[in-house]
């Protein structure tokens, strides 16, 4: 006997599904209609208003955090905990003519070539030619000068240009001073008034008194006595950073041998023309000279011993903060305005506020040869401690035939020496 046939409910299920489908569609349509009605009611009556999707994008844009404002309430950046504050050992400027032992001064001529050598005999004193970090020296400050204090013929000199021209030669070598309240130095050769990247204004948010198209010489003072690797590392004034872990008695003992100072205190110097072009953005100018051999940055270095700089010194009034090592990039480089603004932002976030260094300082008058040390060195020369007698140099010069290239190079060097920079 066959089992009784089961009742076929397929038709009933299909009908139920159809009813549900119609109901869902009706609910969806009603929802869309209500939403559209709501949008119309909320829409502003004025014409030309932003579309709803644009307004939503604006409303959801995250707020940018003001990190500089947060510093005020930070337990880590309390200025009362700045152990380097007031560490500067005061040494007054002195008339150069009154110095019993003349101290080598900066900034001088850093033009490449054997033709230029300072005339101040500093005996066996040599600059520190190693990387500063390898000698346990760290950057303790960063600041910059309007125009350049150093001179590199063909890179930053009286033939350079900028929004306000360049400095001429001093009176002792036919060069004057830049105009304005801030003494300006030499300018680079990049500036082109017909190129927008040199003329388009930049909206500076952290740096002050800066200008696109201008030339600035950046200095990074380094010291083995800095509070390296701590929140107190960077200081304004930079002297506090240089002397942070060095008391007067220790300093006096060390200074008995000037070589100790040149080995432990030094400055990186690098020159830039500011452009409004983000392809020249560099994110970290705090740590020292930018080294990028592919772009010849930090590669062509002039080493010598000198002093601190600034407009309180000139060729009559000398700095007694000497001798310190200078490592100066002879080349001028373009860098974006945003790179400097990022640097100023970073400076304002240090425990010791660096607000007094986020603008260009004046440039010292180019130092005369008689005050520049005779120990200049670069990587194409013999080691600075390998002395060569004048007789050997003369014999080598006489034995070597002079090529056309050498003659051309000598012409350039001669112009840099005699035409521009000889006292």
Round to whole Å and give the CA distance between 266 and 110.
16
Which has the minimum average pLDDT: 4-13, 195-204, 255-264, 398-407? 398-407
180, 181, 149: which is closest to 165 by C-alpha? 180
Which has the minimum average pLDDT: 190-194, 315-319, 416-420? 416-420
Angle of CA points 66, 355, 287, to nearest 5°: 85
| Bond before 85 cis per omega within 30 degrees | no
Query: Using H for helix, E for strand and C for coil, what is the string for the chain?
Result: CCCCCCCCCHHHHHHHHHHHHHHHHHHHHHHHHHHHHHHHHHCCCCCCCCCHHHHHHHHCCCCCCCHHHHHCCCCCCCHHHCCCCCCCCCCCCEEHHHCCCCCCCCCCECCCCCCCCCCECCCCCCCCCCCHHHHCCEECCCEEEEEECCEECCCEECCCCCCCCCCCCCHHHCCCCCCCCCCCCEEECCCCCCCHHHCCCCCCCCCCCCCCCCEEEEEEEEECCCCCCCCCCCCCCHHHHHCCCCCHHHHHHHCCCHHHHHHHEEEEEEEEEEECCHHHCCCCCCCCCCCEHHHCECCCEEEEEECCCCCCCCCCEECCCCCEEEEEEEEEEEEEHHHHHHHHHHHHCCCCCCHHHCCCECCCCCCCHHHCECCCECCCCCCCCCCCCHHHHHHHHHHCCCCHHHHHHHHHHHHHHHHCCCC
Cβ neighbours for 405, distance < 8 A, ≥ 6 positions apart: none
Residue 3 has pLDDT above 50, yes or no: no
Round to whole Å and give the CA distance between 165 and 167.
7
Q: Quick one: tokens of 122?
A: 């500093």
Distance of CA 264 to the CA centre of its chain: 21
Of the pLDDT bands very low, low, confident and very high (cuts 50, 70, 90), residue 251 is: confident
Of the pLDDT bands very low, low, confident and very high (cuts 50, 70, 90), residue 381 is: confident
* C-beta of residue 229 within 8 angstroms of C-beta of residue 346: no
- What are the two backbone dihedrals, phi and then psi, of residue 218, each rounded to the nearest 5 degrees? -95, 135
Is the pTM above the cut of 0.75? yes
The pLDDT of residue 84 is 97
Question: Which residue(s) pair with 336 in the sheet?
Answer: 275
Residue 15 has pLDDT above 90, yes or no: no
* C-beta of residue 113 within 8 angstroms of C-beta of residue 416: yes
On the 0-12 / 13-18 / 19+ scale of CB atoms within 10 A, 76 is: exposed
Q: Looking at per-residue confidence, does 324 or 255 come out higher? A: 324
Round to whole Å and give the CA distance between 250 and 187.
40
Round the average pLDDT of the chain to a whole number and report it: 81
- Reported as a single tens digit per residue, the pLDDT across 127-180 is 999 999 999 999 999 999 999 999 999 999 999 999 998 888 776 654 333 334
* C-beta of residue 273 within 8 angstroms of C-beta of residue 213: yes
Percent of the chain whose pLDDT exceeds 70: 72
Angle of CA points 83, 86, 89, to nearest 5°: 120
Which has the minimum average pLDDT: 52-61, 77-86, 185-194? 52-61
Q: Quick one: tokens of 227?
A: 């509070």
- What are the two backbone dihedrals, phi and then psi, of residue 81, each rounded to the nearest 5 degrees? -95, 10
The pLDDT of residue 194 is 97
Distance of CA 60 to the CA centre of its chain: 36
Residue 192 half-sphere exposure toward CB, CA atoms < 13 A? 7
Of the pLDDT bands very low, low, confident and very high (cuts 50, 70, 90), residue 114 is: low
């Amino acid at each position: 006997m066959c089992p009784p046939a089961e009742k076929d409910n397929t038709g009933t299920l299909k009908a139920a599904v159809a009813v549900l489908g119609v109901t869902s569609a009706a609910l969806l349509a009603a929802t869309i209609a209500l939403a559209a009605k709501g949008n119309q009611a909320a829409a502003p009556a004025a014409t030309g208003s932003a579309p709803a999707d644009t307004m939503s994008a604006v409303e959801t844009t995250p707020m940018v955090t003001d990190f500089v404002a947060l510093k005020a309430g930070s337990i880590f950046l309390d200025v009362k905990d700045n152990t380097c504050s007031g560490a500067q050992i005061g040494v007054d400027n002195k008339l150069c003519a009154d110095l019993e032992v003349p101290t080598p001064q900066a900034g001088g001529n850093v033009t490449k070539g054997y033709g230029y050598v300072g005339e101040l005999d500093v005996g066996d004193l040599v600059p520190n030619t190693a990387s500063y970090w390898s000698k346990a020296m760290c950057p303790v400050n960063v600041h910059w000068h309007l125009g350049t204090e150093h001179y590199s013929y063909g890179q930053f000199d009286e033939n350079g240009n900028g929004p306000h021209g360049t400095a001429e030669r001093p009176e002792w070598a036919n060069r004057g001073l830049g105009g304005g309240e801030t003494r300006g130095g030499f300018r680079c050769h990049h500036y082109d008034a017909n190129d927008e990247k040199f003329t388009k204004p930049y909206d500076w948010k952290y740096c002050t008194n800066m200008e696109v198209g201008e030339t600035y010489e950046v200095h990074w003072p380094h010291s083995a006595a800095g509070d390296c690797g701590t929140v107190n590392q960077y200081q304004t004034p930079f002297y506090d950073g240089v002397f942070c872990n060095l008391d007067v008695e220790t300093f006096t003992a060390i200074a008995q041998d000037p070589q100790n100072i040149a080995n432990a205190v030094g400055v990186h110097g690098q020159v830039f023309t500011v452009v409004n072009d983000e392809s020249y953005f560099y994110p970290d100018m705090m740590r020292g000279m930018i080294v990028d051999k592919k772009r010849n940055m930090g590669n062509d270095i002039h080493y010598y011993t000198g002093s601190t700089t600034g407009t309180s010194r000139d060729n009559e009034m000398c700095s007694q903060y000497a001798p310190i090592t200078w490592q100066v990039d002879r080349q001028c480089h373009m860098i974006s305005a945003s790179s400097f603004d990022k640097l100023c932002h970073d400076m304002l976030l240090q425990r010791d506020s660096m607000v007094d260094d986020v603008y260009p300082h004046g440039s010292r008058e180019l130092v005369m040869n008689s005050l520049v040390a005779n120990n200049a060195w670069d990587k194409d020369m013999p080691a600075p401690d390998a002395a060569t007698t004048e007789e050997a140099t003369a014999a080598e010069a006489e034995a070597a035939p002079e090529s056309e290239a050498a003659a051309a190079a000598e012409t350039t060097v001669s112009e840099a020496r005699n035409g521009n920079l000889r006292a």
